[in-house]
Structure 1
Amino acid sequence: MRLLKDRYGAKIIKTRELILKKAPKIKPERKALQLAGQKLDNKDGGAWVGEALQRAIDNYATGQTPKGLYVVDSVRIPGQIEAIRRAYGAEVHHIHLTATDEELRKRYEARSKEDDEAISYDELKRNRTERQIEQLAEVADIVVSTDRCSEEAVLVRATALLNLYPRSNDALVDVLIGGQFGSEGKGNIVGHIAPEYDLLVRVGGPNAGHQVYAEPRPEKYYHLPSGTQRAPNAKLLLGPGAVIYPKKLLEEIAEHKIDAERLTIDPRAMIITDADREEEAKRFGSISSTAQGVGIASARKMTGRSDYKEERAAFLARDCEVLQPYLGSARQILAGAIVAGQRILLEGTQGTGLSLHHGDYPHVTTRDTTVSGCLADAGIAPSNVRKIIMVCRTYPIRVGGPSGPMAHEVDMAEIHRRSGIPLEELEKNERTTTTDRPRRIAEFDWVQFRDSVQLNGPTDIALTFVDYFDVNNRKAFRFEQLSQETISFVEEIERISGRPVSLLSTDFNWRNVVDRRAW
């Protein structure tokens, strides 16, 4: 009962309180309550419980239609259950909790130590109603032996009966991931679609910054989902696979005025320390690491299991005092959203070409950035996925410096020549969000694109930076308004991938998205 109340907001109605309302002059003692309850049962066979319960629920829901989850603690005879079923029909679920007599005696005596007027267990069992309690198992929907499972296990069995957690594979989750090396413009696409969702989930760490158009300056997100401001009513969730630098996260929380009611952080998310950032800056400059400490912290999560909480060992969100107000189970948040039929957007970070397992090692990041890795980091089953949106640029980029191979590199001057976009604008904009480094840029890599399609199995492609083909694409708000070169490119994307290009970003503004979706 306690867990149903704490986690699901159940209202507890005790039959002892119903008895006291029917017979206010009796003493609120167990023996007196037993006798009063027996008199009421003898009078109408337990029907009084149904009537008293209706009045109690009506009081909870004054001025509105009664709704919600109510737990009656507890019924004593079959007639009481029949009365409740007559009042509420199929909405009633009878869960009979039982245990061995030895266990019940032990529990009763433990409680009785705090009650000077409590009767003995043997005297209690001499009561006719108490002796017949186990007969209720015959009319129960489920019977749970509480001495053979934990309180949490009892909750699982009860919530399954009550349909409070998902048992079907409802496809309510859309996943957005990068198909190249990051900086594909995922934030701009999220900014466009975020208002359609009830729950925004993000994984990864602060080594990936997502930008969303806003006035007077773009919003930058390193931890929070990129749709935080665009979908102000959506709940926010950082999954157990997230890697968090508390200082930066708290700055984002303050900047966007996010409270603990809206944001949940799974207690198993990993924490980055200042020492992690310093060590990463020293060790990984040769591969152009962003040096945000994500790699070192992630390594500690694996290697620190034997000396957890000791110096340099794993340090999880549950161990971080400043994050305590935001902690909560990602699994419970996701399950509740799925049961409620809410739409969920899972936002991946970086890009498939940087995957620890599938990228060009050692020029990779510290996690699997494919859709499979993102689902694992969030704790979402593949069967709950509805759409997979893979975001790709017309000209992929990598961080400047020795950040790894790209096919057929070009320079910004060439993009300027082809597109007509001022060179100064290109050089200003093509800098990394996290480290403000200039980017390297290359021709579209069809081999890498094909591999990303195979790894992620997208249902849709989002193509960004289409103004890099022709600056006049920025004026397009419909597909047919795009340049012929762009349309031909889209046709080839669709031919190679076998998926529709459903979203096209024509400029850095979530309004400048040509939306061809049929969903």
Structure 2
Amino acid sequence: MARLRRSRIVLLSGPMCAGKSELAQRLEARHGAKIIRTRDLISAARPETPNTRSALQKAGQSLDKADGGAWVKTALARVIEGTVVDGVQPDLFVIDAVRIRGQIEAVRDAFGPEVHHVHVTASDVELARRYGERPTETVEFASYGDARKHPTERRIQELAPLADIVVETDRSSADAVLVRATALLGLYPRSIVPLVDVLVGGQYGSEGKGNIVGHIAPEYDLLVRVGGPNAGHKVFGDPVETYYHLPSGTRRASHARLLLGAGAVLKLDKLLREIQEHGVEAERLFIDRNAMIIEDSDIAEETRLTESISSTGQGVGAASARKIMQRSGGARLAGDVPELRPYICDAQEILAEAYLREHRVLLEGTQGTSLSLHHGPYPHVTSRDTTVAGCLADAGIAPRRVRRVVMVCRTYPIRVGGPSGPMWKELTYEDLATRSGIPLENLKRTETTTTTKRQRRIAEFDWEQLRRSALLNGPTDLALTFVDYIDHKNKDAFRFEQLTQPTLRFIEEVERVAGVPVSMMSTGFDWRNVIDRRAW
């Protein structure tokens, strides 16, 4: 018999009520498998057969007796050749179920190593219980004991030694059975392919991460964001796009799916408004059920921090603290909110699917490395770890998945106005206007915080901070923003060599201190504002 198109074939065997159909349906839902039921094959071969289990068993036994079970191979080949779903032939077929050795051997002989045999079973007590509770499309025997009297059913456990795996479904959950079958089929990658690029801020936040994300987002299939609404990311558009919860590439990469990880902290009304404003459909957005919800009491709790450390007062820290302290009950998570039900997921399932399909993933951090709860100048820090390691943990992404790390830095770092913490050699806006040639009123308008609308503090570039952030994040690339602050002439540069000489010397030294290339430079805030020198 001629070999057909390469397709994985799963043969299911096992006693009645062992979980064959459950596994078949899960393989269909998770991996797009085409289910082929042997009782349908029997009905096609013997259309006169009544739709009762005993009649179908007798008809199948007659077909097996005629050719030793080879009829299943022939019928299967016919179905596979004629099956097209959405213009494509499926590459996974599930046979529910094979009943004798001859059927298995015939299919293996025809399709070779693409055949995988899973035998499911359970204790007699459990099988009898399930039999009594099952709905059915066919007329059943009076009892499980009567059904087991049939010769084929009585000998079904003899197929277990032939199987690639035997699963006791009363000792494994339905999800665990699917995991084991998926691994057998080789549908989990046998090696880890780095598919995740991570983007973080290297200073005190407001480095222009959103605009860099907007530039590279169309290259990705899944956009992931962590953190909370204490950081607003802007992307140039008409009008300007601002993102507090959603990934900054939401509009720029309209084909990409969106994921908010388990470590995200959400202000419900703000998130729902953002979803509506950006026209995000339910089938595109996924929110991990363990993301934390900010309550009004959290915002009230943080009011005192706005005076002492210039907190944004959005309730992110208080909500994060409650997630730790109220584990015995009282903390409301995303999975508890009816309005979020269309979006709720287990982030690991979404990520696993992306890895399986070798989709590229962009993880977008918030705030900046020097605001890290653990690695910043405490107490003038935020409520989470803002380094690459912290962002990966919040998203649930293993370090070995990472391909590139982009660290974004400004030419002149900023902190929010007020007692927000130390900076190296603070400057006035008059100083910066004189140096850059940018009108003073333009600078002040630009340097107003997205979330709190406060005037930012600004300082000289901190070379020690750059080196420390590079050590903490291990970047493969830097993105340097606000290059026009070195010289306003840079806003008209569209190629690297068009930047002014002082700017080129500055970039050269940044690369030397950080030990990695400056792969992207932002020269302003317009449609053509990123000079891209990436080699990836």
Bin of the TM-score, shorter chain as denominator length: over 0.9
2:315 is the counterpart of 1:293:
yes
| Distance of 2:417 and 2:205 partners within structure 1 | 13
Match of 2:232 in 1: 209
Q: What amino acid sits opposite 2:178 in the alignment?
A: L
Partner of 2:348: 331
May I ask how many residue pairs the two structures share in their alignment? 513
Distance 1:416 1:117 in 2: 86
Q: Where does 1:83-482 land on structure 2 (aligned, <5 Å)?
A: 83-111=106-134, 117-215=140-238, 217-306=239-328, 308=329, 313-482=330-499
How far did residue 284 of structure 1 move?
4.1
Q: CA deviation at 1:58?
A: 5.1
Q: Which stretches in structure 1 are left out of the alignment for 5+ residues? A: none
Q: Note if contact 1:432-1:438 (Cα within 8 Å) is conserved in structure 2.
A: yes
Q: Which one is further off, 444-453 or 177-186? A: 444-453
The alpha-carbon distance between structure 1 residues 517 and 84, as it changes in their structure 2 partners (threshold 3 A), is same
- One-letter code aligned to 2:244: Y
Q: Output one character per residue of 1:2-51: Cα deviation in whole Å (capped at 9) or x when no partner.
A: 43333334333322222222222222211111111111111122222233
Aligned to 2:246, the other structure's residue is in SS state: coil
Say what the alpha-carbon RMSD is for the aligned residues. Answer: 2.0
Aligned twin of 2:72: 49
Q: Give the 3 Å change call, closer, same or farther, for CA 75–501 of structure 1 in structure 2.
A: same
Question: In 2, distance between residues paired with 1:63 and 1:357?
Answer: 51
CA distance in 2 between partners of 1:203 and 1:362 (Å): 22
Aligned residue for 1:11? 34
CA distance in 2 between counterparts of 1:260 and 1:94 reads 37
Counterparts of 1:504 and 1:35 in 2: how far apart (Å)?
Answer: 74
Name the aligned partner's letter for residue 160 of structure 2. Answer: A
CA distance in structure 1 between the partners assigned to 2:321 and 2:38 by the alignment: 54
Counterpart CA distance in 1 for 2:190 and 2:334 is 29
Give SS of 2:54's match.
helix
Q: How far apart are 1:301 and its partner, in Å? A: 0.6
| Cα deviation 1:270-309 (Å, max 9, x = unaligned) | 1112222222224543211111111111111111111x2x
| Change beyond 3 A, Cα 1:63–1:276 | closer
Query: Structure 1 pair 412/112, CA: closer, same or farther in 2 (3 Å)?
Result: closer
Structure 1 residues 113, 43: CA separation in 2 closer, same or farther (over 3 Å shift)? closer
Which whole-Å CA distance do the structure 2 matches of 1:175 and 1:134 have between them?
50
The Cα shift of 1:56 comes to 3.8
Q: Are 1:192 and 1:511, in contact at CA under 8 Å, matched by a contact in 2?
A: no
Superposition pairs for residues 481-500 of structure 1, below 5 Å?
A: 481-500=498-517
Tell me if structure 2 keeps the 8 A contact 1:212–1:509.
no
Q: Distance in 1 between matches of 2:397 and 2:315?
A: 26
**Structure 1 letter corresponding to 2:54:** K
How far apart, in 2, do the equivalents of 1:512 and 1:401 lie?
Answer: 31
Task: Provide closer, same or farther for how the CA distance between residues 121 and 164 of structure 1 changes in structure 2, counting only shifts above 3 A.
Answer: same
Q: 1:304-328, CA deviations, whole angstroms, 9 ceiling, x for partnerless residues?
A: 111x2xxxx2100000110000111
Deviations 1:183-230 (A, max 9, x none): 000011111111110110000010010000002x21000011000111
Could you say if the C-alpha distance between residues 63 and 237 of structure 1 is closer, same or farther in structure 2, counting changes exceeding 3 Å?
Answer: closer
Contact preservation (8 Å) 1:181, 1:353:
yes
1:94 counterpart SS class: strand
Please report how far the alpha carbon of residue 72 of structure 1 lies from its aligned counterpart in structure 2 after TM superposition: 1.8
Cα offsets for 1:53-111 (capped at 9, x unmatched) = 34444555168341143322111112222333355443332111122334333333443
Does structure 1 residue 76 correspond to structure 2 residue 99?
A: yes
Query: What SS does the aligned partner of 2:116 have?
Result: coil
Change (3 A) 1:285 1:115: farther
- Aligned residues: percent identity? 63
Aligned to 2:63: 40
TM-score, length basis structure 2: 0.92
For 1:144 and 1:175, locate their aligned partners in 2 and report how far apart those are by CA, in whole Å: 39
